[in-house]
């Protein structure tokens, strides 16, 4: 960056091109067509300069990642792994999955020790704080293998609502996927972040969880990512996640930029995990 750009900002079309949105020429067309916003306001002037470190840019309503130092990783967490970057009891933790990246990553929210599936690792503390905040309520989709034969009436009960010791709860969506050999597969969509909520809900309706996997977190889908592997989010996935985060940035007034509160601080916190 030249001295002139550092003091007065960088031309918007150059910022878009550097972020991989499009070539500089196509980026200029996007600006002229009114498809680019800076800090929520449409910009159509090609001479507009911005501060990539502080300004928020979106194209067609999708947030653009301008900070190349931010990392966003999807992990298919195995069972038997604690959702923490360090476990004082010596159990397997998330460090082994984060070591492939130079940045110091931490987890967004939690999956309990016996739950596998989609977990986001990042060094973006603000995004993590927003997405993990209970008042934001990111949708999560789980597949649960449970004991017994689940009936349509049980599915209706899950969506209608049940009473737990810490208050009422209902699934946003629930459907029966399969029944065989004394067990059933149930898909549950929830926005609640309450502790071990899927296991407690299924136990309350008489079908304790045998296996549990989280397949979706907000706009992110686990897809074919094998258990125990991690990958960086694609440009499209990053855009969707950042857009969701910015929409909910008002949900939490106290943002911890270090992200230290995400994941379990030590093994004693296992009972506070979320699914």
Question: Helices 235-247 and 125-132 sit at what angle, rounded to 10 degrees?
Answer: 60
Do 52 and 11 contact (CB within 8 A), yes or no?
no
* Rounded CA separation 115/92 (Å): 14
* Rounded CA separation 178/3 (Å): 63
Nearest Cα to Cα of residue 65 among 134, 3, 138, 122: 122
Whether 112 is a known active-site residue: answer yes
* Rounded CA separation 205/151 (Å): 11
| Among 33, 112, 172, 253, the one annotated catalytic | 112
Give CA angle at 51 (48, 56), nearest 5°.
90
| Residues with active-site annotation | 112
């Amino acid at each position: 960056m030249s001295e002139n750009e550092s003091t007065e900002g960088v031309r918007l079309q150059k910022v878009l091109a550097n972020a991989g949105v499009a070539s500089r020429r196509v980026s200029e067309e996007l600006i002229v067509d009114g498809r680019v916003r800076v800090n929520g306001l449409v910009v159509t002037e090609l001479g507009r300069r911005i501060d990539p470190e502080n300004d928020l840019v979106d194209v067609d309503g999708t947030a653009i990642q301008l900070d190349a130092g931010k990392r966003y990783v999807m992990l298919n967490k195995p069972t038997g792994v604690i959702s923490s970057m360090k476990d004082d009891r010596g159990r397997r933790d998330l460090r082994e999955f984060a070591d492939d990246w130079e940045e110091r990553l931490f987890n967004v929210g939690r999956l309990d020790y016996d739950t596998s599936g989609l977990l986001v690792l990042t060094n973006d503390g603000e995004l993590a704080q927003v997405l993990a905040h209970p008042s934001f309520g990111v949708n999560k989709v789980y597949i649960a293998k449970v004991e017994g034969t689940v009936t349509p009436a049980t599915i209706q009960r899950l969506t209608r609502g049940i009473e737990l010791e810490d208050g009422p709860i209902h699934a946003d969506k629930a459907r029966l996927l399969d029944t065989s050999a004394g067990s059933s597969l149930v898909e549950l969509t929830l926005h609640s972040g309450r502790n071990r909520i899927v296991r407690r809900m299924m136990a309350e309706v008489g079908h304790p969880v045998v296996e549990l996997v989280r397949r979706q977190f907000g706009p992110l889908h686990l897809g074919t990512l094998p258990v125990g592997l991690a990958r960086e989010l694609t440009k499209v996935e990053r855009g969707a996640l950042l857009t969701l985060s910015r929409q909910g940035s008002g949900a939490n007034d106290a943002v911890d930029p270090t992200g230290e509160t995400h994941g379990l601080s030590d093994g004693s916190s296992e009972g506070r995990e979320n699914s």
